[in-house]
Amino acid sequence: MTSGTVSVRLLTGLLLAVLGCVLAAGLAGLGRDAPAPRATPTAAVPSRTAALSALREWDAARADAWRSGSPAALRALYAEGSASGRADRALLTAYRSRGLLVGGMTMQRSLVRVLARSEDRWVLRVTDRLVGAFAVGPGGRLPLPRDAWSTRVVVLLRVGERWRVSEVRDQARPAASTDVTSRSANS
């Protein structure tokens, strides 16, 4: 095994560990009292379609931030004080410190469900996985392992004209659902 392969495997392990920390941080916040979201009665399909569109735009901007290695661009995607945002930036910084950039980040989704919605806050249940990611550095290009399907509750806040991620909480894997919004790769 070459030192480049070992480095990429270590960084992949670090990526998975940080993602676990992001999920743990979200779970730690579950016991806190928060005001109930102001739900707006709307048709379910348009809500899911709009939510999927917002997530696709956010994912594309996140992939650009990782591809360019920009913590500032990544920070702009998260609400102020977001533990998920801090963990994502820490992981990006760890990759950069090893001379690596990450490209090819594509999210595949099998479920997007709107749990609550107001003008400036959406709570979504999302089942997705990261595919196609690769690390590029001094040793060349190496594909990163494919992510497993996971389900999370994602809270989006509207800041100006943009949606930002406030928090991400891990959820148990859902039973088979007919609420499938997208089974193809979303960039």
Q: Are 156 and 126 in contact (CB under 8 A)?
A: no
Structure tokens at 13: 């392990």
pLDDT at 53: 93
pLDDT in tens, 106-141: 999 999 999 999 999 999 999 999 999 999 999 999
Assign 146 a pLDDT band (cuts: 50, 70, 90).
Answer: confident
Angle between helices 3-28 and 83-97 (to 10 degrees): 170
Side-chain-side CA neighbours of residue 35 (13 Å): 5
- Of 88, 94, 75, residue with least CA distance to 21: 88
pLDDT at 90: 97
pLDDT exceeds 80 at position 4: no
DSSP 155: E
- Of 102, 74, 76, residue with least CA distance to 89: 74
Q: What residues have CB less than 8 Å from 176, skipping those under 6 apart?
A: none
Q: Does domain 3-31+40-186 have CATH number 1.10.760.10?
A: no
- Residue ranges per structural domain of the chain: 3-31+40-186
pTM: 0.69
pLDDT at 44: 52
**Coarse DSSP helix, strand, coil percentages of the chain, rounded to the nearest 5 percent:** 40, 30, 30
pLDDT at 74: 97
Angle between helices 83-97 and 44-68 (to 10 degrees): 30
Q: How many residues does the chain have?
A: 187
Q: Where are the beta strands (DSSP E) in 28-133?
A: 101-103, 106-117, 121-131
- Of 85, 89, 105, residue with least CA distance to 97: 89
Give the mean model confidence (pLDDT) for residues 35-60: 71
Cross-sheet strand order for the sheet of 134-137: 101-103, 134-137, 140-143
d(CA 108, CA 45): 19
